Amino acid sequence: MGAWPLPPRPVCAAVVAAFATTAAIIAAALTDGSVVATLSVAAVAATIVLAVWPRFATNTLCLHGTPLPEVRGPGSLPLVGRLVQVLTAIRGQRFAFLMVEWAAAAGAPNFQVWLGAATRSVVLTHPADVRYVLGRANPPRDDHVFGAVGLSVGVDSYFLNTGAVHAQTRALLMGPLNAERTMKTAVAVVEAELGANPHGGAAAGAMACGMSGGLPAAAAAGTHVDVKALASGLTLETIHAVVVSAPAPVQPYATVVEDSWAALRGVRLMPAPCLLVPHRVASIKARTDYMIASVDHHEAERRNAVAAGRWVAEPPTDVLDVLMTERDSGGTGGVYKGAHPTRMARDLITLIMAGYGTTADAISWGVFAVCTHPEVEAALVAELTAANPSGDSWRHDRLAALPFLDAVWKETMRRYPAAASGTARRLAAPVKLPSDGAVLPANTVVFFPQLPPHHNGSTNERPLEFCPSRWGGAMGDMAHGVHTEKSNRAAAEAWIPFAAGPLSCPGQRLAEMEFKATLAVLFGRFHVALAVPAATITAVDEMTMQPSEVPVVLTPRLRS
């Protein structure tokens, strides 16, 4: 197929109209102009063509780019393709795993799937193609797939705006999200929340075990600790400290943030949610208004502090300082020039919502993985003890330099990527894939799931095993055998837990530091054991992939 394939939908519409018109003319001639008969025949003809033409034009005539291997097996229905299968998987919290099943059924890293009558969707998992399309072509996010997010943060938020405004806003955010001050803040909050810092509050630890004494009290009493609650509490505190330099408000704020995710899951990929489930949409908007009011409160307090001389906004201390300065001055890019008055607040809400849930899931999976692999725990504890024998507070640069902890981080994100179902983009122009030269036409919806490339045996040896050794490191070859340099390169190329390119996650370094600090403090101070059989803990895809539960029992470690 050439580099300029025909656009599928206009061609399909023209063919359907032509066949329906022809059928209507013939029917009118045969039935003496009966309107009912003419319209009925035209409708039947249009339906048949709509069911047959798209696949015929794509797979046989090759009008719409290069035909790709197709998902075979049950689940495909006339006119709607596999859309019902997708909606069922979303409702059953297994959409990411459906993508893995599709990849196996297609027998190829890149494949096509029909999710409606008019056009195909494409799923890309070949690492070179994924990185090329996300990094070089950089198509915008698909409005339909991410429509639910727009109901919450607005379609003009930086997350959904993939043009110049997104690039400018991202450039503003990269500074405070990746600053040394931010890394120090992340470690300090984690240590305080886990009770390692005597000057901290340890609220997350107390919430996770239901004891005011936090984790030490739970360890002494043998009380179960809910790692998911622990991780959610400390990551919400961390992102709040980074964004507005303040603790997260007390309940019901945390519940509202968590419920916002649940409400968004309820309308995921749903067509016309405002018409079909207006009560859910109203609930989403009410929660958003609540969070906007919270951000507005922080902004008002910040402006009062600046006016009273209690706060200096330059140089900026946090994300709020950066965005307030940009909005007030117009900045070099003027990203808020002419924007809705609440857009800055909604951008901050986007950071808070995206910055705590996914990181909490990663921490929960990391604890689960280390608990279920004693040899990994032993190697990790040995490295932590050697680096910090006195058990002092951790420095962020020391955590970043630990090779086995880094391998555990990378392997956790490979084996259990939080955004397992990945992202979806709509091509703005035809794209030629570097792996095989296949051409995809403009307007094609392309999915980039993370589980298939992460769990593919051609890119990761023994993909379903938790093997930090695949990432090397000073202690990397002690667990599960030695991986070759070639296999390590393949694993690194396929590692895309934060996507790739200009729209990749700007807070990935912050998430990494929170993960490393949590595991360093937790496993450095305690032996951690699951309180339930590992086989009873399952993966659940609720927009993010999370464990069903991670209850643990802590035993204090004795230091020599």
Give the whole-angstrom CA distance, residue 110 versus residue 437: 12
Q: Is residue 354 part of a domain?
A: yes
- Pairwise CA distance, residues 453 & 414, whole Å: 9
How far apart (Å, rounded) are the C-alpha atoms in residues 537 and 548? 6
**Per-residue confidence at 150, pLDDT binned at 50, 70, 90?**
confident
Of residues 104, 86, 105, 106, the one with CA closest to residue 96: 86
409 and 536 co-located in one domain: yes
Number of independent structural domains in the chain: 2
Pick from 208, 146, 76, 167: which is nearest to 554 by CA?
208
Taking only the tens place, the pLDDT of each residue in 81-92 is 998 999 899 888
Residue 418 lies in a domain: no
**50 falls within a domain:** yes
Extract the annotated binding site for heme: 505
For residue 487, give the amino acid letter: S
Cβ-based neighbours of 195, under 8 Å, separated by 6 or more? 202, 205, 214, 215, 216
pLDDT tens track for 92-103: 889 999 999 999
Q: What is the pLDDT of residue 487?
A: 65
- Give the pairing type, strands 445-448 and 120-124: parallel
263, part of any domain: yes
Instruction: Report CA-CA distances (Å) from 82 to 70, 119, 121.
Output: 12, 12, 10
Listed residues 65, 83, 101: the one ending a domain:
65
Tell me what the mean pLDDT of segment 55-65 comes to: 89
Token representation of residue 494: 């396929």
Give CA–CA dist 445/108, Å, rounded.
18
For residue 429, CA distances in Å to 24, 133, 167, 186, 303 come to 36, 11, 19, 41, 45
60 Cβ partners below 8 Å, 6+ apart? none
On whether the CB atoms of residues 350 and 157 are closer than 8 A, the answer is yes
Give the DSSP H or E segment for 539: strand 539-542
Residue type, position 253, single letter? Y
The two three-digit tokens of residue 429, written as one number: 């122009």
175 and 311 in a common domain: yes
Which residues does 334 contact at the CB level (< 8 Å), separation at least 6? 326
Tell me which residue range forms the domain holding 293.
164-192+225-413+503-556
Categorize the per-residue pLDDT at 475 as very low, low, confident or very high, splitting at 50, 70 and 90.
very low
DSSP 248: P
- For the record, the structure tokens of 24 come out as 């209507």
CATH number of the domain at 284, please. Answer: 1.10.630.10
CB-based contact 97:112 (threshold 8 Å): no
Q: Is 170 in the same domain as 45?
A: no
Domain boundary among 28, 46, 65: 65
Q: What is the pLDDT of residue 480?
A: 45
Q: Identify the domain boundary among 9, 39, 65.
A: 65
Using one digit for the tens of pLDDT, what is the confidence trace for 506-539?
999 999 999 999 999 999 999 999 999 999 999 9
Tell me: do 251 and 395 sit in the same domain.
Answer: yes
Percentage with pLDDT > 90 across the chain: 53
Residue 137 included in any domain: no
Annotated binding-site members: 505
What distances in angstroms separate CA 7 from CA 64, 112, 430, 527, one per listed residue? 6, 16, 10, 59
**What would the pLDDT profile of 254-300 be if each residue is shown by its tens digit?**
788 878 877 777 777 777 788 888 888 888 888 889 999 999 999 99
Helices 343-371 and 508-525 meet at what angle, rounded to 10?
40
Buried b (16+ CB within 10 A) or exposed e, 469-499: bbbbbebbebbbeebeeeebebbeebbbbbb
| Helices marked H in 107-138 | 127-132
How far is Cα 397 from Cα 550, in angstroms, rounded to an integer?
29
409 and 525 within one domain:
yes
pLDDT of residue 485: 62
**Residue 521 counted as domain residue:** yes
- Residue 210, phi-psi category: left (phi > 0), alpha (psi -120 to 50), beta (remainder): left
Residue 204, pLDDT > 60, answer: no
Looking at the DSSP bridge assignments, the partners of residue 448 are: 423
> Is 50 exceeded by the pLDDT of residue 313?
yes
| Per-residue pLDDT reduced to its tens digit, 328-367 | 886 555 788 878 889 899 999 988 888 888 999 999 999 9
